[in-house]
A = this chain, B = another copy of it.
Amino acid sequence: MFVLHPQLEADTLPLMNLKVSTVLLMNDCRFPWIILVPQLENIREITDIPEELSATFYEEMKSVVKIVQSTFTAEKINIGALGNKVPQFHFHIIARFSTDEAWPNAVWGHGIRKVYDDSQAQEIIQQIQQKLKERFHM
């Protein structure tokens, strides 16, 4: 049974469950930042996703990249999966701007997370949920 890692649960706000991934908003208002977690047990690397679900994960990932680009008018998208600290496989999709506080460096490990205020979070969540619904016909 899939259970979201407690660190991911603590750091994020839920957006939607797709066929393979649960889509999470990193609760850090410094960077528009989505995390995809395959809803499967014991996935540590991208190559652990079973072959029959791997292409769907890739399509979900690319769709979320496009949604993040269009929602935030990102100058650059950063994508990646590290898992050095949280072993459950999770894939980052981050909108970057030459004006953001970590630019041009990676966001991982940069400074202190700053949570959204409620209304700001709700606005972003609704925007992204709407685009996910349109994209995935849900």
Within 8 A of B (CB), among A65-89: 65-66, 69, 76-85
- Which residue of chain B has the shortest Cβ distance to A82 in the bound complex? B78
Q: How many residues of A contact B (CB 8 A)?
A: 30
- Which residue of chain B has the shortest Cβ distance to A86 in the bound complex? B104
- Which residue of chain B has the shortest Cβ distance to A85 in the bound complex? B104
| Nearest Cβ on chain B to A43's Cβ, whole angstroms | 12
Cα(A14)–Cα(B85), bound, Å:
31
Q: In the bound complex, do residue B76 and residue A47 qualify as a contact, i.e. CB atoms below 8 Å apart?
A: no
Answer whether residue A133 sits at the interface, using C-beta atoms and an 8 A cutoff. no
Q: In the bound complex, do residue A80 and residue B83 qualify as a contact, i.e. CB atoms below 8 Å apart?
A: no
Q: In the bound complex, do residue A84 and residue B69 qualify as a contact, i.e. CB atoms below 8 Å apart?
A: no
Answer whether residue A54 sits at the interface, using C-beta atoms and an 8 A cutoff. yes
Contact mask A98-138 → B, CB, 8 Å, 1/0? Answer: 00000111101100000000000000000000000000000
Answer whether residue A19 sits at the interface, using C-beta atoms and an 8 A cutoff. no
In the bound complex, residues from chain B placing their C-beta under 8 Å from that of A109 are: 105-106
In the bound complex, residues from chain B placing their C-beta under 8 Å from that of A77 are: 45-46
**Which residues of A come within 8 Å of B, CB atoms?**
44-47, 54-55, 58, 61-62, 65-66, 69, 76-85, 92, 96, 103-106, 108-109
Sorted nearest first, the 6 A-B pairs with minimum C-beta distance are A80-B80, A84-B104, A106-B108, A78-B82, A58-B58, A105-B109
